[in-house]
């Protein structure tokens, strides 16, 4: 008999003083830093959908097991195997033929969209590492908490992908050129900068988490989403007062980053960042990550951000879905995973090997959809 606690996602409910219930979701894959597998995505989607129409559920709390990570991204191992099989098949030129990748990205993006549009408050407790697919879960929650140990990043250029899971949408909504800088460098930010870039709403000490949960049980929850949103926000604002954090490196270097990322072309932006002479370790690490990343991914991230400002979240996810499957069909995504997680040699061989070798016509193919609009696997998002 399977132990319920061995499941990769745990679900529970707490009953508040007035009889309303609080849904508790716990990512429970601590050994993999709670990286999202397809099974976890399906479990989350099913339970959140059920709770969305349950009148007894007033609010949902999304958290994770362990102290190291909320969620370090997606489960890349199975994606890697699916890419190898696809690349070796007679259907290697058809992005639809990698059915595992198609299912994974479609169901992950649907889950992210569900969270963005959820009809009840969702409190996401983003303690520890929050990267890639973890930010995809967190970004759409109505109330997003970071702690003194939170570290957030969209480091996809390092594995031959791009900041997906709606990254093209929320990175474009950050102050100034910060979203572009984070997309190109994969730089890691702390709790202060998470609030500054609007990836988080509250910074609360991890030691105060139980205080927050206890306070939620005392609230007069009702059937009004707006009133419940305010009740939850009031609890978090009250608890947040006990944690004071200094401004983070992203905010401290705001003017420098804006200047670097305001050049006329991507080539000029990359040249400016990588040529920056500074004693600041954080900026140097960001520049090094850009220099070491996939040139194709750098171009793709820039292209998608340019196309996205006037698109809805649903349209952005549809665009990202096509781009992600093109990445899965090209060599760099599998090669980036190989170098990082399989052989762990940290020496990916990118194709193209340099930014100057990336042709604009080749890059444009990454947003060409093999589906008509009404046949797209995410066609009904937002409808």
Q: Which of 112, 156, 240, 332 is the catalytic position?
A: 156
Q: Which of 133, 134, 248, 336 is the catalytic position?
A: 133
Q: What length does the chain have?
A: 383
Q: Which of 108, 164, 320, 332 is the catalytic position?
A: 164
320 is catalytic: no
Q: Which of 23, 73, 74, 167 is the catalytic position?
A: 74
133 is catalytic: yes
HSE-up of residue 30 (Cα within 13 Å, Cβ side): 11
Q: Which residues are tagged catalytic?
A: 74, 133, 156, 164
């Amino acid at each position: 008999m399977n132990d319920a606690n061995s499941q990769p996602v745990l679900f529970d409910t707490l009953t508040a003083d007035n009889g309303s219930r609080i849904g508790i979701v716990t990512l429970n894959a601590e050994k993999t830093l709670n990286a999202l597998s397809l099974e976890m995505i399906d479990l989350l989607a099913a339970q959140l959908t059920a709770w969305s129409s349950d009148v007894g559920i007033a609010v949902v709390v999304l958290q994770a097991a362990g102290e190291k990570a909320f969620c370090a991204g997606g489960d890349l191992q199975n994606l890697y195997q699916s890419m190898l099989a696809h690349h070796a098949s007679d259907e290697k030129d058809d992005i639809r033929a990698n059915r595992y990748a198609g299912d994974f990205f479609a169901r992950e993006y649907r889950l992210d969209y569900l969270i963005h549009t959820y009809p009840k408050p969702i409190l996401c407790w983003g303690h520890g590492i929050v990267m890639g697919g973890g930010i995809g879960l967190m970004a759409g929650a109505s109330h997003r908490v970071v702690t003194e140990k939170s570290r957030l990043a969209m480091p996809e250029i390092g594995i031959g992908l791009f900041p997906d899971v709606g990254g093209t949408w929320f990175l474009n909504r950050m102050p100034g050129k910060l979203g572009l800088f984070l997309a190109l460098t994969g730089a890691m930010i702390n709790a202060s900068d998470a609030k500054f870039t609007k990836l988080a709403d509250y910074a609360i000490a991890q030691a105060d988490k139980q205080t927050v949960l206890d306070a939620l049980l005392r609230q007069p929850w009702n059937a009004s989403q707006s009133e419940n949103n305010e009740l939850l926000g009031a609890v978090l604002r009250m608890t947040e007062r006990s944690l004071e954090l200094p401004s983070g490196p992203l905010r401290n270097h705001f003017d420098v980053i804006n200047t670097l990322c305001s050049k006329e072309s991507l080539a000029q932006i990359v040249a400016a960042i990588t040529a920056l002479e500074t004693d600041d370790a954080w900026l140097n690490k960001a520049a090094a990550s850009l220099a070491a990343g996939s040139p194709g991914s750098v171009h793709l991230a820039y292209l998608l951000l340019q196309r996205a400002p006037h698109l809805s979240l649903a349209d952005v996810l549809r665009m990202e879905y096509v781009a992600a499957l093109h990445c899965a069909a090209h060599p760099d995504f599998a090669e980036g995973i190989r170098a990082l997680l399989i052989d762990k040699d940290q020496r990916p061989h990118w194709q193209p090997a340099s930014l100057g070798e990336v042709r604009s016509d080749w890059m444009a193919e990454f947003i060409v959809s093999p589906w008509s609009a009404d046949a797209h696997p995410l066609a009904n998002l937002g409808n």
